Structure 1
Amino acid sequence: MRYSIGDLARRTGLTTKAVRFYSDRGLVPPSGRNAAGHRQYDDVALARLGLVRTLRELGFGLAAIRKIVDGEATVAEVAARHAETLEAEIRVLRLRHAVLTAVAGRGSTLEETRHVLSADERRRLIGDFLAEALGDRPELAGIARTLTPELPEDPGPGQLEAWIELAGLTRDAEFRAVLRRLVDQHEGGLRRDLAAEVRDAVTPALAAGVDPASPEAAAIVERLGRDRGELRTWLGLVRDPRRERYVELLAVINGWAAPESLAPALDWLAVATAA
């Protein structure tokens, strides 16, 4: 059969302008012309036009469609590449949606939003924070890794909200100073496992209802084997609520289990060391 551009439009549901566009681009070439010089198309052109329409609805570009209709590539090959591109675009859109949701919910500033959107900016912010807080100490590389947030490619609103709050903490000069003093105390003899020792020694006492001002509590403090003055200085730093909040936010961002709060044990020990 012979079809005019109008016939093809009616049979495919496209506009005559769209049919003419695809014909002009060589995707649906005419098979000839009638006596009036108008383009005529055959059944092959009708089938090609149906394929072109389907591929366009799937989001394929004209260059990819040309390769398919000309037999230079299969639909499966082009679809695989197109699916990869779409997946990357979807990840970007999800991130933007989550960022907008978090920003709207928190009433975030432009500066906070900038720290969320750029992966390079996030790395720079955390790098500067850890460098100032921990110093250039190779032996603390492990601690630096455990304190590094890694926002996933497809974060949820909760992870983004946690990141925005954590980013604010990293810019807090007083908080940086607290961590730096904790590091200095570590180098001065208070080992990094002191927090674990306190948890192991004090948690049973808390559960048993031991009075922190009692002789039994004094014995627990003595078993820690630390000078009371050093302990009080350490407690003054480690009880800073920003430290525990940082750890909580870090767990949310990295998808870790929620950390056990050390605050009750530290509060008990603070009273015990002052008794």
Structure 2
Amino acid sequence: MDGGNLYSIGELAQRTGLTVKTIRFYSDRGIVTPADRSHAGYRRYAPETVARLAFVRTLRELGLGLDVIRRVVDQELTLGEVAAEHVSALDVQIRILRLRRAVLTAAARREPTPKEMELMHRLATLSQAERRHLIDDFLDTVFDGPPNGSPLAAARRSMTPELPDNPTDEQVRAWVELAELSLDPDFRASERRLADEHITCLPAGPPTPPRPDVFAIARDLVAPAVASGINPDSSQADSVVAALTARCARLYRPPHDTELYRWLLHRLEAAGDPRRDQYFQLLALINGWPPPERLAPLIDWSVTALRLRAAG
């Protein structure tokens, strides 16, 4: 150190761990400025430059650009202001990285075609408004237009995903899968048929409180039998089937009493599509709901039990 307690660039490099080239670059950009020059024209820096360079190094490691750093060290911006802006920028980057990770993870599991990969990426990066439009289009197809007092308004709400502002990787992957399902024409048509048949079988007259659908009734009545290990062809299953048919006949209006078994079979077989279970599993994950019980085993039990008794 010479020149009245001033440091050369080499001395600054030794004290800060930065290279001479880096310090010279910072000096050329005006982030640190020499206090004086030697007789030979070499730059000399004040002792406080060591602390200033340590601060600059910290800000660089946090990812701040040199223009922002210069304004901070010159007190044109406060650290709080810079930190807040940087957090916002990082949030955007994190969201983008999370979406990319979710798409790549899903792709690793499925071996998609290039076209499917493109679709997955597009679905993952939709804006909130675009996601809402996609789901509204699906639900409008299933429920024949927007709710507007429809008896199926509650059912529509129960099928509506709400991806949070800061979703987890799992929620993003679930959203991509659910969105793909909602675009499947065959799945749309299947769900539309179920909704139409539900409306058709509602009793005539003034609006009444929402009725549970046939699948919910089967779930409530059959789940205990399945959990207890009751076989659908056993005599113990008779009371379960009787309760199922009685409750459906009471709440709905099947075509004819003698066709009740066939009507129930048709409804339950239509609901046996494994994509329905998949949809509601994904929906629960997206919305942060408890995982729903899978209906497929209960529907299989009910269908078997009804077929045996309809044949008899």
- Fold-level similarity (TM above 0.5): yes
Tell me the alpha carbon deviations over residues 45-71 of structure 1, each in whole angstroms, 9 at most, x when there is no partner: 333233222322222222332233223
Q: Deviation of residue 130 (structure 1)?
A: 1.7
Tell me the amino acid that sits aligned with residue 16 of structure 1: V
Residues 203 and 48 (structure 1), Cα distance of their counterparts in 2 relative to 1, 3 Å cut: closer
Residues 48 and 241 (structure 1), Cα distance of their counterparts in 2 relative to 1, 3 Å cut: closer
- 2:220 equivalent in structure 1: 200
Give me the identity figure in percent. Answer: 48
For the pair 1:147 / 2:180, whether they are aligned, the reply is no
- Runs of 4+ in structure 1 displaced over 6 angstroms? none
Q: How many residues align?
A: 274
Comparing 31-40 and 197-206, the one that deviates more: 197-206
Residues 62 and 129 (structure 1), Cα distance of their counterparts in 2 relative to 1, 3 Å cut: same
**Contact 2:277–2:294, Cα closer than 8 Å, also in 1:** yes
RMSD (Å) for aligned C-alpha atoms:
2.9
**Contact 2:241–2:305, Cα closer than 8 Å, also in 1:** yes
| Residues in 2 aligned to 1:205 and 1:50: alpha-carbon distance in whole angstroms | 71
Gaps of 5+ in 2: 203-210, 255-259
Q: Deviation of residue 252 (structure 1)?
A: 2.9
- 1:244 equivalent in structure 2: 277
SS of residue matched to 1:35: coil
Residues 3 and 217 (structure 1), Cα distance of their counterparts in 2 relative to 1, 3 Å cut: closer
Identify the structure with the greater helix proportion: 1
**Contact 1:9–1:19, Cα closer than 8 Å, also in 2:** yes
Comparing 207-216 and 81-90, the one that deviates more: 207-216
Tell me the amino acid that sits aligned with residue 67 of structure 1: R
Tell me the amino acid that sits aligned with residue 275 of structure 2: R
**Contact 1:210–1:216, Cα closer than 8 Å, also in 2:** no
TM-score by length of 2: 0.74
2:230 corresponds, among 181, 184, 209, to 209
1:98 corresponds, among 81, 97, 102, to 102
Residues 38 and 221 (structure 1), Cα distance of their counterparts in 2 relative to 1, 3 Å cut: closer
| Residues in 1 aligned to 2:132 and 2:14: alpha-carbon distance in whole angstroms | 56
Q: Deviation of residue 161 (structure 1)?
A: 4.3
Tell me the amino acid that sits aligned with residue 136 of structure 2: G
- The 5 Å alignment of 1:222-241 reads 222-224=245-247, 225=249, 226=252, 227=254, 228=260, 229-241=262-274
For the pair 1:89 / 2:69, whether they are aligned, the reply is no
| Residues in 1 aligned to 2:66 and 2:241: alpha-carbon distance in whole angstroms | 80
**Contact 1:202–1:220, Cα closer than 8 Å, also in 2:** no
- 1:220 equivalent in structure 2: 243
Residues 168 and 80 (structure 1), Cα distance of their counterparts in 2 relative to 1, 3 Å cut: closer
